[in-house]
Each structure stands twice: as structure tokens, then as C-alpha cells.
Amino acid sequence: MTHNDTEPSRPLDGKNFPLLAMLFPDELHYLQSVATSMRVAADVPVIQEGQRNQYLYLIQSGVLRVSKRHGDTVFEIGSITPGEVFGEASILYQTPAGANVRSIETCELYQIEIQHLQEIIQDNSRFSHAIHQLAERRSAAGALAINPIFSTLSQAVREVILYNGEFLTIEQGETLFSEASSDITYMYLILSGEAEAFIQHPTHAEERIVFARLSSGDEAGEISVVTEKPRTVTVVATSRLRLLAMKTESIQAWRRRYSDFEQALRNHVQRKLQHNLEAIRLGK
């Protein structure tokens, strides 16, 4: 990566970067004064998953690819193009990068250090809402891409899921749903945080049989979607949990429309039910 002192191909303003249209004139002028223009050669990592990122990047020209590792597999999440920004999640949550961003071709970027954005995010509610919404949608896109059920769908269909889904927050210790509940309105995808899926021990009421510990990219509630019966487990947040809630009726429509999705969902539910039965057998 090299810095570029030539005239930028896309000026840093609200016309070229829609996110910046949320800024007040003095805030925009400040960011223009601290931004650095840089050139990145093709096939170069700009952000690497798991590393600390210290910048917000805005794309002047070129295309970059976003990918995420889950287990031993690297999943393609999508691409980002001129006028878009990336690196926002690291700024908002002070966490390591959740995905890789690599240039597909030679790119020109603006680079702004995190410290220059913190006060603006705190003081400008419109900008704060917009950048949080962007980070949340990116998080959901990543979770859908690495999930073994939803990864069978095309990126275009996953975009529809994002558009129609509902974002929820569950605080640590709160229950997402309870065993035997007949409310099966939603299936959930975990975006961040952790949860525990369990049933009460059949003979020792004070004990639990834990079936799974869930984290980003995992689903919850899919068994009821397939069986159309009450919840088989209780799911409780063991940390603050961000979720994408998808209506069961929508899931059923996708099952009818996309055979690969239907097969992946059925196979996953079958494996999970077998795992749960084995856990019950061992727990007795």
C-alpha cells in the first residue's frame, strides 16, 4: 500500500460517499482535513480478520472482496465498490476485524484514523445511526454467508433476507425462547455474542442438559420450523446477544422455492435432533 498525493478521483463529500451526507459541514471539513489518500495494488489485504483495525476506509476507485473464515472454510461474503466504506465495525465495537478485505484490482482509498471519528459518532445521532446500521447489516451478511444452511442461497436472496429480517438484542441472562413454547413465529441467526441451548434434567430439576453453546453464525429455532411443533429447547443468552429474526413463514417459502436450502435445513435438523437425543441419553 502506498500513499497518493495526486488529485483524488472521487472527492471526499456527501455526494460521492452517501454516509458522509449525514455530517454537518464543520464535521465534513474536519474529516477532509485528516483523511489520507492512498493507492492499493491488486490482490493486497487491507484488513485481515482477527487483527486490530485502526482506520475507516472510503473507496475512491476499484473493487475489494470481503471474505470470512468459519472453521476450516473461507466464505466469500461479497464485494465493496466506489462510494462505500469499510472498517466501521472496528470503530464502533473496538474489536478485532470480523472479516478479510482484499483488493481485487488497483484501488484508491481514503484512510481516516479511528480517533478522528469517535467524537463525531458520539455527537451526531444521524451519522451514528447510519454507521451502526451499516455495521449491523454487514455483520448479518457475514453470518448468513458462513451458516451451513443459508450459505446455500445466492447472495441476492440473502440480501432479501437482510431486508425483511428484524434485528434484536437480548441481554445476558435473558431467554430467547423456552422449551415447549408454542410460539414458533421466528427462526434466529446469531450475529454476535453467545448463548446456551439446553433442557431441564428430566429427573433432577435443578440441573440442565446442555445441547449446544451458540455463537456468531449459528442458528436457533430451526427445529420447530421443520417439525412445526413447539420449541424443543430453552435458549438463554450467556453474553449480550445480537440476532437476526426471520419469520417462519418466510423460511417455509424459501424451502419450497430453493431445493438446496430445503435439503440443507432438513439435514441440519436431523443431525441436531440425533445429537440432542444422544446428549439426553448420556445426561440421564
Residues 113 and 198 in one domain: no
Domain with 92 in it: what CATH number? 2.60.120.10
CA dist 146 and 249 (Å) reads 23
What would the DSSP string read from start to end of 224-279?
A: HHHH-S--SSEEEESS-EEEEEEEHHHHHHHHHH-HHHHHHHHHHHHHHHHHHHHH
CA dist 136 and 31 (Å) reads 23
CA dist 214 and 203 (Å) reads 25
Cβ burial of 17 (10 Å; 0-12, 13-18, 19+) is buried
- Domain limits for position 163: 155-283
Number of helices and strands in the chain (H, E): 8, 17
Residues 125 and 197 in one domain: no
Please give the pLDDT value at position 94.
Answer: 76
**Per-position pLDDT tens, the chain of length 284:** 666 655 567 899 999 999 999 999 999 999 999 999 999 999 999 999 888 889 999 999 999 999 988 778 888 888 999 999 999 988 887 778 888 999 999 999 999 998 999 899 999 999 999 999 898 888 888 889 888 899 999 888 998 998 899 999 999 999 999 999 999 999 999 988 899 999 988 777 778 899 999 988 899 999 999 999 999 999 999 998 989 999 999 999 999 999 999 999 999 999 999 998 888 887 65
**Residue carrying the nine cell digits 424443543:** 232
Question: Maximum distance among all alpha carbons in the chain?
Answer: 74
Spatial strand order in the sheet of 73-80:
45-47, 100-103, 64-70, 73-80
Residues 8 and 118 in one domain: yes
Residues 181 and 136 in one domain: no
Please give the pLDDT value at position 51.
Answer: 87
Boundary of a domain, candidates 146, 165, 183: 146
Please give the grid coordinates belonging to residue 50: 482477527
Residues 220 and 201 in one domain: yes
Spatial strand order in the sheet of 219-220:
166-170, 241-247, 186-192, 219-220
Boundary of a domain, candidates 86, 116, 146: 146
CA dist 64 and 107 (Å) reads 8
| Number of structural domains found in the chain | 2
Please give the pLDDT value at position 217.
Answer: 84
Residues 142 and 181 in one domain: no
DSSP bridge partners of 198: 210, 234
Please give the pLDDT value at position 201.
Answer: 83
Please give the grid coordinates belonging to residue 166: 428484524
CA dist 114 and 91 (Å) reads 6
Residues 128 and 183 in one domain: no
Residues 116 and 178 in one domain: no
Please give the grid coordinates belonging to residue 238: 450467556
Residues 203 and 72 in one domain: no
Boundary of a domain, candidates 146, 177, 202: 146
Residues 34 and 60 in one domain: yes
Residues 176 and 279 in one domain: yes
